[in-house]
A and B are shown apart, each in its own frame.
Chain A
Amino acid sequence: MSWTRENRWRAALVLAGVIFTLAAPGMLELFTIINLSTAIALAILALSLGLIWGYGGILCFGQTAFFGIGAYAYTIAAVNFGGSSWAVLVAILAAAVFAAVLGYFMFYGRVSDVYMAVITLTVTLILYSLLRRTSGPEYKIGDALLGGFNGVTSPPLNLPWAPYMPLFPEHVFYVGMAVLIIGYIICAWLIQTHFGRVAVAIRENELRAELIGYDTRFYKLAMFTIGGAIAGAGGIIFANGVGRVTPDIFNLYNSALAIIWVIVGGRGTLAGPVMGAFALFYLTSWLGTQGVVNNNLVLGLTLIIFVLAVPRGILPTFISWWDGARSRRAMQRRELKVRRKRGRRSSELREAADEK
């Protein structure tokens, strides 16, 4: 990894994250720290989607499926094992395996982008409905009752060497920040490896990547699986932050929310989605404390305005503004692209006509 401009920014960000983590107890109130765990969990989910969608070009509308599977697998395993160390591994593995299986069917089945979005969403909704139907006492995995609609209470994390000494909610904050920062570093490293650059190339032009000999299916699958594993790790933090997992984790609202963080924060960046998650979390959180306007109304309107006015997301827009010259060039590039797209489309049409 070389010290490019981007990497200097990334290093600064990581440093800021570390400083924030260490300074938080002195700066913030206890409840803020505890409540941050949930926001951090969501940010990890956003990061995973930012990776596979922003860099892998895979529009997964069901990233919460892996997040939720991580949370559920963690909870069930922790209840059964009586400690969290194995449960953490089980959770990440379960999420990764599920992503790998789903990804295998989609990528090796050559499913188109639109269908990929809808299939991942559908699978998530299926999980949602299935888990809501497990309230009977017969739905039990080991010692863990699935609890249906009401969900399961998640046992807290513990340190690997002290299985019967659970962490306090405020300590989960540290674990969460560590996962987020390490996850961010992994993602930032990954996109600069040969693997990551091929993934980006596939996002740019899948056919060309194939024509120079890359098996794009494999790369997408690997990316998808890694994303699933990171989301699963986020799920563990989420289960700890909320203290409970319920099927609602898989509902449409949350699935859509994940996409929205990435769009609001900026696709094609890693920090953007993370910021998007934090921003929207605090917006919705704040909305719940004002009793004037209907929350759905405000949130809905905000999103619509966002789509129309800031379609590129906060971070890219900010970077453009920060670096004026760059932004002018980017603008030219966009124009050219559009022009070329038009040209390409008409030549494709010609080609189509050619075949018939």
Chain B
Amino acid sequence: MSFDRRTFIKGTSLAGLTLMAPGIIGRAKADDTIRLASILDQSGGLDIYGKPMADATTMAVDEINAAGGLNGKQVELINYDPQSNIQFYTQYATKAAAGDKAHVVHAGITSASREAIRPTLGRFKSLYFYNTQYEGGVCDRNCFCTGSTPAQTVEKLVPYAMNKFGKKVYIIAADYNYGQITAQWVKKYVTDNGGEVADIEFFPLDVTNFGPTIKKIQAAKPDMVWSALVGGAHISFYRQYAAAGMNKSVPIASTTFGVGNEHKLISADEGDGILAAYTYFQEVPGDDNAAFVKRFQDKFGADAPYLNELAARSYEGIQFWAEAVRKAGTADRMPVIEALESGISLAGPSGPISIDPKTHHGVLNVYLAELKDQTFNIVETHNEQPPSDTLLVCDLKANPDQAKFYFENGLEAAGIK
């Protein structure tokens, strides 16, 4: 059974419960600015991700305004901090959409937060940008997902790592949807490339003791370990792995290592040799990126966090939206959506980005990198990779009126499980 509230918006007036027209008429916001609402956790447990994203958001808006705004209007940034508390996501999203009448809402870190607010924003017809890497599968015309999805990065890193380290892979992943799904994609690509998966283990997000698993890895003798671990507690793994001397013998590849600034939080000795893949690294070559990094560091000074994919996506997500607003000549929702679907592209710090009109997901450069002395060295670049996982299940061109989250994310379509 599946239904969502949007389907029932029109024409359902319920006996005895009909609301009088709320007093919002005549209080509509003056249209001299374009309102951009940002809802990102800047305190509580998720702030390690939210802080850099919020900083990048601020910078993007400031730059747009410094350059004269959009279509002659200034962009007003309305910033909300849901404090790592899901109930505030719903609150602020409702307020941003129905109260502030925001033209666009850039929001959400966890999938839980995204799924909590997506129906609200859809209902109030507020354009929604989700700038976080996630497990894929959102198929909603009102929602644009600019972050990478597992297939994009995993597909490239698996063959590279197997080539370098060997064919027997031991997968460890965070025990939540993202980790579960990523692990399945890793398994698929390992098998596709003629490799073998020794074991898959999932770790609750608050586990800090990885001792038993390290022993199991030693017993299984794989050629490499694939990590899809996430969050502050899981950083312990890399330390404990190194402390047991394992980092020298069985190397690690990961598409999640680095986004929580793991490579800065463990020492050079512990981290050297780890392979990672993202659609952005601070170390991405090119003048655009160098200038972007410099601007960011100048703006936030010594406290400037490492620019990871999340931060870059937040910045580029706003810039991309701005580009669409310019093209549409208005910040109104439908024209902007159409502009976004029209195949515009932007040269961002991470390279050229565009939106795949079928899925509303980003078409992005994928970078493979190796860690050395707490710095990622880019070893391979794959240009403009489509969101191949979500593409298996989602076609908004054929069926624009859906607003779904395909939880299993095309795993089935890809022939997994």
Whether B86 lies near A149 (C-beta < 8 A) is: no
Interchain CA distance A41-B8 in the complex, whole Å:
24
Whether A79 lies near B92 (C-beta < 8 A) is: no
Q: In chain A, what residue has the closest Cβ to B417?
A: A137
Stretch at the interface among B15-23, B152-160, B333-341, B355-363: B15-23
Give every chain B residue within 8 A of A132 (Cβ-Cβ).
Answer: 175-176, 204-206
**Shortest Cβ distance from residue B330 to the other chain A in the assembled complex, whole angstroms:** 23
Whether, in the assembled complex, B94 has its beta carbon less than 8 Å from a beta carbon of chain A, the answer is yes
Interface band, chain A: 35 or more
Give every chain A residue within 8 A of B99 (Cβ-Cβ).
Answer: 29, 31-32
Evaluate whether A135 and B175 lie within 8 angstroms (CB atoms) in the complex, with A34-B94, A244-B116 already known: yes
Whether A167 lies near B14 (C-beta < 8 A) is: yes
Q: In chain B, what residue has the closest Cβ to A164?
A: B3
Whether B86 lies near A248 (C-beta < 8 A) is: yes
Given contacts A26-B20, A35-B91, A136-B175, 9 further A-B contacts (CB under 8 A): A25-B21, A32-B99, A34-B98, A132-B204, A156-B5, A168-B19, A241-B90, A248-B86, A253-B85
Whether B22 lies near A30 (C-beta < 8 A) is: yes
Whether, in the assembled complex, A110 has its beta carbon less than 8 Å from a beta carbon of chain B, the answer is no
Residues of chain A having any CB pair with chain B under 8 Å? 25-35, 38, 79, 82, 129, 132-133, 135-137, 143, 145, 147-151, 153, 155-156, 159, 162, 164-171, 174, 238, 241-244, 246, 248, 253, 284-285, 287-289, 291, 294-296
Interface residues of B in 72-125 (CB under 8 A from A): 79-83, 85-92, 94-95, 97-99, 110-112, 115-116, 119-120
Whether A166 lies near B81 (C-beta < 8 A) is: no
Whether, in the assembled complex, B43 has its beta carbon less than 8 Å from a beta carbon of chain A, the answer is yes
Give every chain A residue within 8 A of B180 (Cβ-Cβ).
Answer: 135-137
Whether, in the assembled complex, B407 has its beta carbon less than 8 Å from a beta carbon of chain A, the answer is yes
Give every chain B residue within 8 A of A159 (Cβ-Cβ).
Answer: 14-15, 17
Evaluate whether A288 and B92 lie within 8 angstroms (CB atoms) in the complex, with A82-B1, A148-B177, A242-B116 already known: yes
Q: Within the complex, which residue of B5, B83, B202, B407 is in contact with A287, where a contact is CB–CB below 8 Å? A: B83
Q: In chain A, what residue has the closest Cβ to B91?
A: A35
Whether A171 lies near B17 (C-beta < 8 A) is: yes
Interchain CA distance A146-B17 in the complex, whole Å:
32
Give every chain B residue within 8 A of A243 (Cβ-Cβ).
Answer: 90, 116, 119-120
Whether A285 lies near B91 (C-beta < 8 A) is: yes
Evaluate whether A31 and B82 lie within 8 angstroms (CB atoms) in the complex, with A25-B20, A148-B176, A159-B14 already known: no
Q: Within the complex, which residue of A31, A174, A242, A285 is in contact with B17, where a contact is CB–CB below 8 Å? A: A174
Q: In chain B, what residue has the closest Cβ to A27?
A: B23
A to B CB contacts below 8 Å, 24 in the list: A27-B23, A28-B23, A31-B97, A34-B94, A35-B95, A79-B1, A135-B202, A136-B180, A149-B205, A150-B115, A167-B17, A168-B19, A169-B120, A170-B22, A241-B87, A246-B112, A284-B85, A284-B88, A285-B88, A285-B91, A287-B81, A287-B83, A288-B92, A296-B83
**Shortest Cβ distance from residue A322 to the other chain B in the assembled complex, whole angstroms:** 33
Q: In chain B, what residue has the closest Cβ to A150?
A: B112
Evaluate whether A244 and B80 lie within 8 angstroms (CB atoms) in the complex, with A27-B23, A150-B177 already known: no
Q: In chain A, what residue has the closest Cβ to B96?
A: A31
Interface centre among B9, B44, B85, B95 (most CB of A within 10 A): B85
Q: In chain B, what residue has the closest Cβ to A244?
A: B116
**Shortest Cβ distance from residue B134 to the other chain A in the assembled complex, whole angstroms:** 10
Give every chain A residue within 8 A of B95 (Cβ-Cβ).
Answer: 31, 35
Interchain CA distance A27-B22 in the complex, whole Å:
8
Q: Which 8 A-B pairs have the closest CB atoms?
A: A31-B98, A149-B176, A30-B22, A31-B99, A150-B112, A288-B81, A25-B20, A244-B116
